[in-house]
Amino acid sequence: MKRQEDRTLVDPTHWWAGGGVMGELIGNKDWAGSDLGGLNEWPASLRTALGIGFAFPAPACIVWGQQRAQLYNDAYAQLSVMGHSDALGEDFAHSWSQAWPSLRACFERALRGEPTRLEDQQVSFERDGATEAAVVTFSFAPIHDEAGGVGGLLVTLLEPSSSQLREELARTKADLEQHGHVISHDFRAPLRTLEQMSRIVLNEHAAQLPAGALGLLNHVANGAAKLALRADTLARVDVLSHHPLHRQDIDVGAMVRKVMAEVQSAAPERQVEVVVEDLPRANADYELLRLVLSNLLSNAFKFTRNAEHARIEVSGRQQGHHVVYSVKDNGVGFDPQYARRLFGFFQRMHTEAEFEGLGMGLALTKRLIERHGGSIWVEAEKGRGAEFRFTLPA
């Protein structure tokens, strides 16, 4: 009898059976007028993924098609920020509207075929009749359709298993924030003092010091100045990381031309061809987007310094639910195997003797773009320039 029941569960005409409460709701819902079409028209890839989601013990959701229609298991329904009877087949982004700016970059990377995770995301659930704050890890896995493309995503949520673990995560985050504050703020004054005292000794007592001592003091003063500048930059990163986003409609083309004029004014003797295409407008924080463009355009200007005919191209296009912008140059480039490392703090592809800089601008740029719900990546070739592309929500 048990074997007969198992055969019934996989009956292709009732493939949603065995999915618990959500399986029953999905089976009883009239899908004919929806973007997904009638139940028996759903592709095998979607049915298989949904069966996996039903069996998954943690909250799991299948997000399918360009409309991001969501279908999910019982565990997910208990956590959803919408009532599950209303959310079935609706846009996944609407259910997570508050977290969507953070989720979107991972979601769209997964749509390009790259499994992604977003850890320690703070969300609010309507659970047991009350609003509950939680820290959740979202995982996004691509689901390939019959044509070989990405038809949708399997989204799973993982919560810490106990209140003790949640408290430990909160303490760890607070400790990290405090350490960052100490590094970026409390180190600056001693470093500036060390630099200034070294300069005083060099300026007022150089005649009494041997050449070797003068050289050492110069190293101390220069080293302290560099460390203080890094601390200043970290302090700025700390401020910008907590800066509330004030989104507005922005003429990106006008912003690019203004920023590029400022960059070029620092070296008016250089001849650089700058091509700015018609750029889609953006809905973003004006000052933060300006800083993003300033970092990317300054880098392009700097690294084309030795090019015989320096050229910088800025372009953009609408692509689905986001806009892709590009800053391309024909400068020195770099080995593409180090592309991922480039967005870390203090990471440099060239020595300070070749090109000045702290190795922090791209790390900050990445943070600012991700705060907008976008992503950034780079394509480069050593000796043949680089192209930075980043996305912003449309």
Per-residue model confidence (pLDDT) at position 311: 94
Model confidence at 356: pLDDT above 70: no
Please compute the mean of the pLDDT values over residues 134-160 and round it to a whole number.
86
Confidence of residue 355 (pLDDT cuts 50, 70, 90): very low
Assess whether pLDDT exceeds 60 at residue 179.
no
**What average pLDDT does this structure show over 208-221?**
79
Q: Tell me whether domains 2-159 and 247-393 share a fold.
A: no
Asked whether the predicted pLDDT for residue 7 surpasses 50, the reply is: no
Q: What is the pLDDT of residue 364?
A: 82
Q: Which of 194-203, 328-337, 338-347 has the lowest mean pLDDT?
A: 338-347
Give dist(CA 117, CA 68) in Å, integer.
18
What pLDDT score was predicted for residue 5?
Answer: 38
- Residues composing the chain: 394
Q: CA of 311: how far to CAs of 55, 255, 315, 344, in Å?
A: 55, 19, 13, 26
Please tell me the predicted confidence (pLDDT) of residue 177.
56
Q: Which residues contact 201 (CB under 8 A, 6 or more apart)?
A: 209, 217
For residue 173, name the pLDDT band (cuts at 50, 70, 90): low
Instruction: Output 193 or 139, whichever has higher pLDDT.
Output: 139
- pLDDT tens-digit series, residues 108-143: 999 998 899 888 787 776 655 556 667 788 999 999
For the ranges 223-232, 311-320, 365-374, which has the lowest average pLDDT?
223-232
Percentage of the chain lying above the pLDDT 70 cut: 72
pLDDT in tens, 227-253: 666 666 666 666 666 667 788 999 999
Higher pLDDT, 12 or 87: 87
Position 149 scores a pLDDT of: 86
pLDDT at residue 301 greater than cutoff 80: yes
Whether pLDDT at 306 is above 60: yes
- Residues 391, 108 contacting (CB under 8 angstroms): yes
Degrees (nearest 5) of the Cα angle 73, 78, 55? Answer: 25
Determine the Cα–Cα distance for residues 364 and 240; give it in Å rounded to an integer. 9
Architecture of the CATH domain 247-393: 2-Layer Sandwich (3.30)
Residue 6: the pLDDT is 39
Q: Compare 246 and 3 and report the one with higher pLDDT.
A: 246
Residue 349 — very low, low, confident or very high, per pLDDT cuts 50/70/90?
low
Distance (Å, rounded) from C-alpha 301 to C-alpha 150? Answer: 38
The CA–CA distances, whole Å, from 213 to 151, 207, 208, 224, 227 equal: 68, 11, 10, 16, 21
The mean of the pLDDT values for the chain is: 78
The fold of the 2-159 domain, in CATH, is Beta-Lactamase (3.30.450)
The confidence score (pLDDT) of residue 330 equals: 93
Q: Rg of the Cα trace of the chain?
A: 27
pLDDT of residue 2: 36
pLDDT of residue 347 exceeding 70, the answer is no
Angular region, 132: left φ>0, alpha ψ -120 to 50, beta rest: beta
User: What pLDDT is attached to residue 361?
Assistant: 76
Question: Average pLDDT, stretch 102-113?
Answer: 90
Ranges of each domain in the chain: 2-159, 166-241, 247-393
- In this prediction, residue 53 carries a pLDDT of 87
Residue 174 pLDDT = 58
Question: Which of 245-249, 309-313, 337-341 has the weakest average pLDDT?
Answer: 337-341
Calculate mean pLDDT across residues 139-162.
Answer: 84
pLDDT score for 142: 92
